[in-house]
Amino acid sequence: MPRLYFDANATTPPHPEAVEAVRSAMAEDWANPTSTHREGQRARFRLEEARREIAASLGVEPGELVFCASATEALHLLTRGLQAALGDRPAAVFPGEHSACLNPLRDWSRLAWLPELPPDCATVVQMAANNETGLLYTMPAVPDAVRIKDCCQAWGKVPVDLSDCDAAVFSGHKVGGPRGAALLWMRPGLPWEIVMEGPQERRRRGGTEDLPAILGLAAAVRHLPERGARNAALAPLRDAFEAEITAWNRGFGVIGRDLPRLPNTSCMLFRGRSGEALQVALDLAGFAVSTGSACHSGSVKPSHAITTLGYSLEDARSVLRFSLLPDALPGEVEALAAALKRLT
């Protein structure tokens, strides 16, 4: 049987049109977009064309977008630029946030954990959707604070609303784009200082833009409406899978089963089992699944995204995450359920 992939929250295969856009750009639009000669200006035109197209899909102005190499880079640029501008005022973040956001915030002298909000809070960081549990979150209303939304997992799976935030980050490879292209959106007038010098991206992010990756992302973005519809249709398939597994063994559980969450994501507790050992067994059986965030692979520590929800260390060590691709088929999910029952 061919291998089956259930780790879409880690990354997704690039859309065929994104692959062709990258290939074409590397062959034909390889000039530096900052150069003033004809080849460079052609590359600049293609870059700004992609910026306009992506901005329109998000409902923002093209000049508000900054192209970055990854969402991790975008979060570092954003939070460190805010820290430089805002000084010693505190920030608040959900403790289950992705490490790409938590790490740069650890430099702040005063950091609070949501839902706690210091009275003089200057910055709030909230993920729209958790990458491990799939749980959806809303942005707290904090007067006079800069509100940052981590949209990496929500983009392409559920509608993304930017009306309740002042800045946001998006990851291209989560939506069928290539690695090497991510987005930082900042509302005009944001109190932010440059931390990566260079003339590119209106001086907001130094370094030559990766035009092939950006054009690949623009190609993937054209298919986001249909991708979102296919992802939305996965919820009944996911729910049936969970019902089958938990009925077969009532010691197993689902994190956030009755809460709003991504339609493609199931984070399950296999109590009495090692999630890591079960992940290896499934891999050998032909199924790609995850014990949590891909960025924590090889870590012996249980996921902080699970323990911050109140689960024990033992429970956290029993977790597996199943995240379906938009084109997942019922027969594939049935095969996964059969393998799980056989291996547990």
- Residues annotated as part of the active site: 295
Tokens of 160: 């993304």
What does the buried/exposed string (b/e) look like for 151-165 if buried means 16 or more CB atoms within 10 Å of the residue's CB? bbbbbbbbebebeeb
SS3 content of the chain, % helix, strand, coil (to 5): 40, 15, 45
Tokens of 67: 């192209």
Which of the 8 DSSP states describes residue 222?
T
Name the CA dihedral angle for 105, 107, 110, 115, rounded to a multiple of 10 degrees: 20
Handedness of CA 269, 275, 281, 284 (dihedral sign): positive
Tokens of 158: 């559920």
The SS3 of residue 77 is helix
Q: At residue 187, what is the residue type?
A: R
Instruction: Say if residues 243 and 253 touch (Cβ distance below 8 Å).
Output: no
C-alpha neighbours within 13 Å on the C-beta side of residue 284: 6
Q: At residue 297, what is the residue type?
A: S
Quote the CA–CA distance of 331 and 4 in Å, as a whole number.
11
Quote the CA–CA distance of 275 and 161 in Å, as a whole number.
34
Taking every pair of C-alpha atoms in the chain, what is the biggest distance, in angstroms? 67
Quote the CA–CA distance of 81 and 76 in Å, as a whole number.
8
Closest by Cα among 186, 200, 197, 206 to 55: 186
